[in-house]
Amino acid sequence: MTERIVLAYSGGLDTSVAIGWIAEATGAEVIAVAVDVGQGGESLETIRQRALGCGAVEAYVADARDEFATEYCMPALKANALYMDSYPLVSALSRPVIVKHLVAAAREFGATTVSHGCTGKGNDQVRFEVGIQTLGPDLKCIAPVRDLALTRDKAIAFAEEKGLPIETTKKNPFSIDQNVWGRAVETGFLEDIWNAPTKDVYDYTASPEFPPAADEVIISFKEGIPVAIDGNAVTPLQAIEELNRRAGAQGIGRIDIVEDRLVGIKSREIYEAPGAMALIAAHRELENVTIEREQARFKKTVDQRWTELVYDGQWFSPLKRSLDTFVDDTQKYVTGDIRMDLHGGRATVTGRRSDVALYDFNLATYDSGDTFDQSMARGFIEIFGLSSKVASSRDQRAGA
Catalytic residues: 14, 95, 124, 175
Beta bridge partners of 346: 343
Contact 127, 313 (CB under 8 A): yes
**Nearest residue to 59 via CA among 31, 17, 36, 29:** 31
**Nearest residue to 224 via CA among 359, 339, 70, 67:** 70
**Nearest residue to 332 via CA among 300, 356, 305, 307:** 356
In whole angstroms, what is the distance from residue 136 CA to residue 386 CA?
57
In whole angstroms, what is the distance from residue 337 CA to residue 190 CA?
39
CA distances from 232 to 17, 66, 243 (A): 45, 18, 13
In whole angstroms, what is the distance from residue 134 CA to residue 348 CA?
41
**Nearest residue to 341 via CA among 212, 191, 255, 224:** 212
Residues 6 or more apart in contact with residue 197 via CB below 8 angstroms: 185, 190, 256, 270
CA distances from 312 to 127, 263, 358, 380, 388 (A): 7, 9, 35, 44, 41
Which amino acid, one-letter code, is at 288? N
**Nearest residue to 223 via CA among 335, 327, 325:** 335
Residues 6 or more apart in contact with residue 351 via CB below 8 angstroms: 218, 337, 338, 339
In whole angstroms, what is the distance from residue 214 CA to residue 230 CA?
15
Q: Is the backbone of residue 260 left (phi > 0), alpha (psi -120 to 50) or beta?
A: beta
**Nearest residue to 275 via CA among 247, 237, 249:** 247
Element (H, E) at 220: strand 215-222
User: Residue 349, Cβ neighbours under 10 Å: how many?
Assistant: 16
